[in-house]
Amino acid sequence: MANNVRLPLFASAAEAVPSPTAQTVTPSMREGSHVTEAVAPGQAQGAATARDDERDDAMMQVGDLAREAGKTVRAIHLYEELQLLRPAARSKGRYRLYGREALVRIRWIGKLQDMGFSLTDIQTIVRDWEESSSAPRTMVKMRELYAKKLEETQAHLRKMQMLEHDLRASLDYLDTCEVCDPARLLTACTSCDLHDCQSHVPDLIAGFRAN
């Protein structure tokens, strides 16, 4: 009679004991035909460290930030002292790290300074913004502030346009002086025969003669 040979479930006793890092795959771990593999604690920690390193590489230290923003390192530190700028993180060596949004913040500070705001004024604006609880009220306040600055800027532009006109007229007037007799005395310039006596003498020229 033929012997029925029954194969053992495991090839050896060692194989019968599951590995400490092994994990039984349950139906809930399956997605279609794919099996979600378990991640050992050491692997998870390594992945987290890799992500942190990638984040650090994507950020800038203060010297890089200053160079890209066209500012000095001292200016960046001053912004921090006034609470206008904050680092996004710290590196493993405890160096300040900044994201790309820091460049936006620095440009914003620069534009407000161009409007005539001092750093102390900007500090007040930032503090009011951070302490405000109502978004609509804060936006209305910012709109009023910007609207006032727009009026001041437009008035300043009108003055600059008038000054541009005066400068051009003065240059046109002075162009004629190039053909004047070199021996002519300066005191004779009060009555110049090279210019139409009826023509308007620009204020920037007449001002020399007024005293």
Spatial separation of the C-alpha atoms in residues 52 and 111, rounded to whole Å: 33
pLDDT of residue 11: 40
pLDDT of residue 46: 53
pLDDT of residue 190: 63
Instruction: For residue 177, give both structure tokens.
Output: 């002086």
pLDDT of residue 27: 47
Spatial separation of the C-alpha atoms in residues 74 and 208, rounded to whole Å: 44
- Please, what's the b/e burial string for 157-173 (b: 16 or more CB within 10 A of its CB; e: otherwise)? eeeeeeeeeeeebbeeb
Kindly list the averaged pLDDT for each block of 10 residues, start to end, along the chain of length 211.
43 42 46 47 53 65 95 96 94 90 96 95 93 90 95 96 94 76 65 62 79 63
Spatial separation of the C-alpha atoms in residues 168 and 162, rounded to whole Å: 10
pLDDT of residue 167: 95
Domain extent listing, the chain: 54-117, 132-173
pLDDT of residue 2: 46
Q: Are strands 89-90 and 34-35 parallel, antiparallel or unpaired?
A: unpaired
Which amino acid, 41? P
pTM given for the model: 0.61
Nearest to 167 by CA among 203, 198, 195: 203
The hierarchical CATH code for the domain 54-117 is: 1.10.1660.10
